[in-house]
Amino acid sequence: MTRTFVSIAAILFFFKGVAGALPVFEGGKTTWHGFDRYDFVMDDQTLAITPFTAPPGEGDGISDPPQGTHRCVVVVPKEFAPGNPWSWRGCYWNHMPQAEIALLHQGFCIAYISAGANLRPGRQWDAWYGFLTEHGLSPKPVFIGMSRGGEFSYMWATLHPDKVSGIYVDNPGANWGVMTGIAALATNDVPLLHVCGSLDPLLGRVTLPIESMYQQFGGRISVMIKEGDAHHPHSLPDPKPIVDFIMQSVYETNSPPPDFAGKRFTRTSFYSNEEFYRYFPSEGKYITCRGPMFTPCYDRYQFGISNFSGGGLTIIAPRTPAPGNPWVFRSDLVDQNQAVDLALLAKGYYIVTGPVPYDVGPVPAQWDAAYNYLITYGFSKKPVMEGNGAAAGEAFAWAMANPNKVSCIYSENPIMHSNLSKIPLLDSLGILAKAGIPIIDVSGDLDPNFEDNTLIMEKRYQKLGGSIKVIVESGRGHYPLSPEDPKPVVDFITRANGDGY
């Protein structure tokens, strides 16, 4: 299920003359940065929303609401974009509004309900959402939140994760309710963008924990860290990256899931932790960028098949599968720093984590079932076997039991022991050598298993006439697992699969 984004110009062209009735508002009408602004007031007890005339001299800003009420504002574009999208400001109306002004030019509405230390999100926010959607605005707004506004945006969004298209926050605050509710946003595939200053005290207390959790939950979060900035200034002088994020969040579409995922599956996202240190002329400074706005993002499917107990299959799908649908078969978790797997995904390989029941290690019958299931859906009949540490032993064991079904084996700091097989792996390498299976290994010379596993395997496999290449990384121990340079490994694997690289 890949995500696609169509330009707003193409959408407007396609929908021209097709859209239904446009929203009509009857509040007190003024202007905001050249666009029509409508003001309302909400009674906190009855939640009734009535037109309100902004007081003289208020200009583009907004005054504190009368006691027992909330001020509400909606600004409308000259021409509504398809679906009547809108952004919801979490706090600090009219502060650094350049992204919202740009959105108005793209056909978005801009909305706000008065918020502050004593006006936190509550049922009034729900009533304002109901009012705007009843008037024809999209049921899934995008949030814009700066500082406390970021906290408020998350407070409402985590309680209504199915009613949000995306969230952009700037040096946001947070609370424990937000932190504990963040998983719901990931489950609903709500994309996030955090823009922060590298010196802001909230960076380490809020953004970095949310980033880590959200990525582990399989959610999409992009981060831009402005070098040398503290809590202020907010936003970007040129808001294009923010506007692009919001536009994509609203207008992206999901293609149908692949047939192999079946009817019951969980889809999450997988992407690297790679950082990009880029100069932004409009800021006059460098910004550290990471996340799916800046690096390829892949769909990850988790599902079970018949006779599986415990964990099922996890498949990370490439954006465009390579001819023959090559794939990697492994038993261990693929984390965001696996440089080889990320490079193979970019070349069109599927990355498959086989089933591992909760009470025992991998079970041969289940791995065989997984293999047979995938080849019926067109996956290559000869996957790459891969594993780190003890998981490398599982890769070798399945290959030894199925030597005619393996293209090659890639191991990192291997421990030659397996739950899949009771045969002594180091004494059974002849099975692989006879089948002509090439092996590539990357090991640190300080890994405690290096001499008793990697070096013995290399010596014996060479003596058996097998093809083996060992890359020794000097001065490295068991971690990090990924090689410093993944290219030799990737080239080895693609050649073994007949890709001609």
Cross-strand bridge partners of residue 442: 412, 471
pLDDT at res. 421:
84
Alpha-carbon distance 338 to 223, whole Å? Answer: 20
Mean pLDDT of 448-464: 98
pLDDT digits (tens, 9 = 90+) for 376-387: 999 999 999 999
Based on the domain organization, do 284 and 310 belong to the same domain?
A: no
Question: Cβ of 208: how many Cβ atoms within 10 Å?
Answer: 15
pLDDT digits (tens, 9 = 90+) for 303-316: 998 767 667 899 99
Alpha-carbon distance 252 to 464, whole Å? Answer: 54
Q: Is pLDDT of 6 > 90?
A: no
Q: What sign for the dihedral angle of Cα 315, 2, 218, 497?
A: positive
Name, in order, each residue with C-beta under 8 angstroms of 234's C-beta and a sequence gap of 6 or more.
95, 96, 146, 147, 170, 171, 195
Based on the domain organization, do 87 and 135 belong to the same domain?
A: yes
Question: 3-state secondary structure string, 110-134?
Answer: EEEECCECCECCCHHHHHHHHHHHH
Cross-strand bridge partners of residue 229: none
Mean pLDDT of 70-94: 97
The answer as to whether 457 is a domain residue is: yes
Alpha-carbon distance 180 to 157, whole Å? Answer: 12
Neighbouring C-alpha atoms within 13 Å toward the C-beta of 390: 8
pLDDT at res. 500:
45
The answer as to whether 13 is a domain residue is: yes
Share of the chain above pLDDT 70, in %: 95
Based on the domain organization, do 284 and 338 belong to the same domain?
A: no
pLDDT at res. 420:
83
Structure tokens at 328: 């990697």
Alpha-carbon distance 420 to 96, whole Å? Answer: 59
Q: What sign for the dihedral angle of Cα 205, 210, 211, 217?
A: positive
Question: Cβ of 78: how many Cβ atoms within 10 Å?
Answer: 10
User: Which of 260, 290, 320 corresponds to the end of one domain?
Assistant: 290
Mean pLDDT of 106-119: 95
Name, in order, each residue with C-beta under 8 angstroms of 307's C-beta and a sequence gap of 6 or more.
365, 366, 369
Q: Is pLDDT of 121 > 90?
A: yes
Kindly state the greatest CA–CA separation across the chain: 91
User: Which of 290, 313, 341 corresponds to the end of one domain?
Assistant: 290
pLDDT digits (tens, 9 = 90+) for 186-238: 999 999 999 999 999 999 999 999 999 999 999 999 999 999 999 999 999 99
pLDDT class of 70 with cuts at 50, 70, 90: very high
pLDDT digits (tens, 9 = 90+) for 342-381: 999 999 999 999 998 888 888 899 999 999 999 999 999 9
User: Which of 270, 290, 310 corresponds to the end of one domain?
Assistant: 290
Helix 240-251 vs helix 8-15: crossing angle, to nearest 10: 40
Question: Cβ of 214: how many Cβ atoms within 10 Å?
Answer: 22
Based on the domain organization, do 9 and 95 belong to the same domain?
A: yes
The answer as to whether 260 is a domain residue is: no
The answer as to whether 475 is a domain residue is: yes
Structure tokens at 212: 């880590």
Based on the domain organization, do 405 and 455 belong to the same domain?
A: yes
pLDDT at res. 310:
65
Name, in order, each residue with C-beta under 8 angstroms of 438's C-beta and a sequence gap of 6 or more.
408, 409, 466, 467, 468, 469, 492, 496
Based on the domain organization, do 225 and 335 belong to the same domain?
A: no
Q: Is pLDDT of 486 > 90?
A: yes
The answer as to whether 270 is a domain residue is: no
Name, in order, each residue with C-beta under 8 angstroms of 477's C-beta and a sequence gap of 6 or more.
444, 446, 447, 448
Q: Calculate the average pLDDT of the chain.
A: 93
Name, in order, each residue with C-beta under 8 angstroms of 335's C-beta and a sequence gap of 6 or more.
none
Q: Is the peptide bond before 233 cis (omega within 30 degrees of 0)?
A: yes
Question: Cβ of 123: how many Cβ atoms within 10 Å?
Answer: 9
Q: Is pLDDT of 7 > 80?
A: no
Based on the domain organization, do 284 and 318 belong to the same domain?
A: no
Based on the domain organization, do 283 and 324 belong to the same domain?
A: no
Question: Cβ of 298: how many Cβ atoms within 10 Å?
Answer: 22
pLDDT at res. 155:
97
Mean pLDDT of 91-102: 97
Number of H helices, E strands in the chain: 14, 23
Alpha-carbon distance 408 to 494, whole Å? Answer: 10
Q: Is pLDDT of 19 > 50?
A: no
pLDDT at res. 15:
38
Domain range for 229 is 3-252+278-290
Asked whether the beta carbons of 185 and 164 are under 8 A apart, the reply is yes
pLDDT at res. 3:
63
Alpha-carbon distance 488 to 438, whole Å? Answer: 14
CA distances in angstroms from 30 to 40, 61, 71, listed in the order given: 12, 11, 14
Can you give the CATH number for the domain in which 282 is found?
3.40.50.1820
The answer as to whether 269 is a domain residue is: no
pLDDT at res. 14:
38
pLDDT at res. 4:
57
Q: Rg of the chain over CA atoms, in angstroms?
A: 27
Based on the domain organization, do 363 and 449 belong to the same domain?
A: yes
The answer as to whether 90 is a domain residue is: yes
- Of 190, 142, 195, 199, which Cα lies nearest the Cα of 172? 195
Residue 17's φ and ψ, nearest 5 degrees, are 80, 0
Share of the chain above pLDDT 90, in %: 85
pLDDT class of 432 with cuts at 50, 70, 90: very high
pLDDT class of 16 with cuts at 50, 70, 90: very low
The one-letter amino acid at 371: Y
Asked whether the beta carbons of 39 and 67 are under 8 A apart, the reply is no
What is the number of structural domains in the chain? 2
The answer as to whether 263 is a domain residue is: no
Based on the domain organization, do 247 and 317 belong to the same domain?
A: no
CA distances in angstroms from 242 to 70, 168, 445, 480, listed in the order given: 28, 7, 45, 34
Based on the domain organization, do 283 and 336 belong to the same domain?
A: no
Q: What value, to the nearest 5°, has the Cα angle with vertex 422 and ends 420 and 427?
A: 115
CA 153 to chain centre: 19
CA distances in angstroms from 187 to 79, 154, 274, 304, 461, listed in the order given: 33, 15, 23, 18, 46
Based on the domain organization, do 482 and 357 belong to the same domain?
A: yes
Mean pLDDT of 469-477: 96
Asked whether the beta carbons of 442 and 476 are under 8 A apart, the reply is no
One-character DSSP codes across 440-474: EEEEETT-TTIIIIIIHHHHHHHHTT--EEEEEET
Alpha-carbon distance 37 to 53, whole Å? Answer: 11
